[in-house]
Chain A
Amino acid sequence: MNPIISALWPYFLLVLLGYLPNEVWRVFGLVLVRGLNEDSEIVIWSRAVATAILAGVIAKLIVFSPGALLSIPLPVRVTAVVCGFIAFLAVKRSVFVGVAVGEAALLLGGFLFAH
């Protein structure tokens, strides 16, 4: 491939696969302000689908981790997520507490068991 084209290719993908598919919903909101509302069935269904996709990505990142996270063993990663989530539930559903406890558990486990 031409070097200029191959350098610009990731930016082209960003606009085509990231910017446009996402931005179209904002523009719809601007143009059809009196269209769907938040309680319409299609919006509720798409929220469930979007939540499940994001959950799938979360699972993928934990179980089939990229790069440096892979150097921390799977049981440590899973235990850390569970600890963080329990802390989140236990302490006033605080996102900060959940993330802090999860990270602390990951670092401790990684320090003890990293290969």
Chain B
Amino acid sequence: MTAPRAFISTGAAFFGGVKSALTSVFFLVIGGTYIGIGALAHDFGFASWWLAFSTVLVWAGPAQVILITALGSGAALPEAAVAVSLSGVRLFPMVVALLPLLRREGTRLRDLLLPTHFTSASMWVESMRLLPAIPRERRIAFCNGMSAGFMGTATSAGFLGHYLAAELPPLFAGALLFLTPMSFLVSTARNARMMMDKVALVLGLVVGTVLTASHVQLDLLWTGVGGGTLAYAVHRLRRAAA
């Protein structure tokens, strides 16, 4: 636990946040992830500026990977939207848990709009860890600074990955593309808190492969709803048996 950090101004708190982002372990994680997403966007035919806008607007790695893969491989448009939305549900409880840390008497709704948009897995983990040691009146500025640091890192890494995928020999460009499935696989496994999450991961891998191989329409949705519901049923049965 770090000692309480007093910042003399809102600006100092913002830059304190930027600095904490650039020295966080998530700096490397986000950099590597978005180099991979940049390469992915390149090979699915999306412009680097499109990717930059998607990073700023969507600001969720899994949703961006799903969107790029679905649109790039010609999925039906409603399927892409539903798949993205299902991956975004996890943001809801994060916002619900984060805002009480930022709010104080007299906080206006519009002051919470940016932190709400900035909420994502990495920012959330670091906020929950660091904010309690920061005076309440400086927390929003600190949180915005940290998020801006993460988002700037992601956007730059996206451009870099997009550029490298075009310039590198095929083997190395392939290795960049491989970053996305490899890193999402291990980080999803790491975040799997309950048996249900692990079952959903394994079922998704198996069902996704089978459905894509057999050219089923709406394969992503069937994988998600089928595999996910089966995993949820396993969770309910285990809970009932316990």
Contacts and interface: CB of A to CB of B under 8 A. Distances in A.
A53 B66 contact: yes
B22 interface: no
Nearest to B43: A67
Interface residues of B, number: 105
Q: Tell me which of A66, A71, A88, A103 has the highest count of chain B C-beta atoms within 10 A of its own C-beta.
A: A66
B178 A102 contact: yes
Contacts of A110: 171, 174-175
Interface residues of A, number: 73
Contact of B67 (A14, A56, A61, A96): A14
Contact of A11 (B50, B95, B174, B225): B50
A21 B88 contact: yes
Given A22-B84, A25-B89, A52 B65 contact: no
Given A27-B116, A53-B86, A84 B182 contact: yes
A5 interface: no
Contacts of A56: 204-205, 207-208, 211-212, 219-220, 223-224, 227
Interface of B: 28-29, 32, 39-40, 42-44, 46-47, 50, 53-54, 57-58, 60, 62-67, 69, 71-73, 77, 80-97, 99-100, 109, 112-113, 116-117, 119, 165, 170-190, 192, 196-197, 199-209, 211-213, 219-221, 223-229, 231-232, 235
Interface of A: 10-11, 13-30, 33, 35-38, 43-72, 77, 80-81, 84-85, 88, 93, 95-96, 98-99, 102-103, 106-107, 110-111, 114
